[in-house]
Amino acid sequence: MILKVVKYPEPVLTQPGEKVTEFNDELRQFVADMFETMYSSQGIGLAAQQVGVAKRVTVIDLSQGKDPAQKLALINPEIVTSSGRQYEEEGCLSFPDIREKIVRAAKVHIRAQNEKGEWFEMDGEELLARAFQHEFDHLDGILFTQRMSPLKRSMCLRKIRKLQAEGNW
Ligand code: NI
């Protein structure tokens, strides 16, 4: 089922997610719905807050559904170590048409639980490292605008207010 993706400034987007403790069919259905929603929006990552649920669940697929090996469901994820620096353009399904360069770590090592509750660890570089950092931020209620310089953030927020005033947001 395709879920509704909420846009900034929906309050749930800044709400830290609750830890998932039950790995049941309901959770697995929610994860399946999140993948379906992400693919239908041509995204490469989606956090539970973006479909109105403040829980620590996120899905990532850099292949956008083309390569099953890249399909990642990450429950209660955390960054274990990070290193380096990258400065690339980033977008967010909750900020349609907003793209801005954001500083992120170049490499991260993460741990998370899968849909069955099993812990796993993995490394991410470049775009995958960026996706991990962007999505895990969502789970803490942190939006990519908060990672921008104050000047860029105010420019983005002004653009959003303009779009809202025109009825295009
Ligand atoms: Ni996002």
For the chain, which residues make up each domain, given as ranges?
A: 11-165
Instruction: Give tens-digit pLDDT for 107-159.
Output: 999 999 999 999 999 999 999 999 999 999 999 999 999 999 999 999 999 99
pLDDT (0 to 100) of residue 3: 98
Distance, CA 131 to ligand 1 centroid (Å)?
Answer: 9
Show Cβ contacts of residue 123 under 8 Å, excluding neighbours closer than 6 positions.
107, 108, 109, 110
Distance, CA 120 to ligand 1 centroid (Å)?
Answer: 23
Annotation marks residue 135 as catalytic: yes
Distance, CA 142 to ligand 1 centroid (Å)?
Answer: 9
Select 11-165's CATH number: 3.90.45.10, 3.40.190.10, 3.90.79.10, 3.40.50.300: 3.90.45.10
Instruction: Give tens-digit pLDDT for 14-62.
Output: 999 999 999 999 999 999 999 999 999 999 999 999 999 999 999 999 9
Show Cβ contacts of residue 126 under 8 Å, excluding neighbours closer than 6 positions.
86, 106
pLDDT (0 to 100) of residue 113: 98
The upper half-sphere exposure of residue 105, i.e. CA atoms within 13 Å in the direction of its Cβ, equals: 17
pLDDT (0 to 100) of residue 59: 98
Cα(136)–Cα(130) distance, integer angstroms: 10
- Would the CA dihedral through 37, 43, 49, 55 be positive or negative? positive
Among residues 90, 100, 115, 135, the one annotated as catalytic is 135
Q: Are strands 72-83 and 57-60 parallel, antiparallel or unpaired?
A: antiparallel
- Give the mean pLDDT of 80-101: 96
Distance, CA 62 to ligand 1 centroid (Å)?
Answer: 14
pLDDT (0 to 100) of residue 140: 98
pLDDT (0 to 100) of residue 15: 98
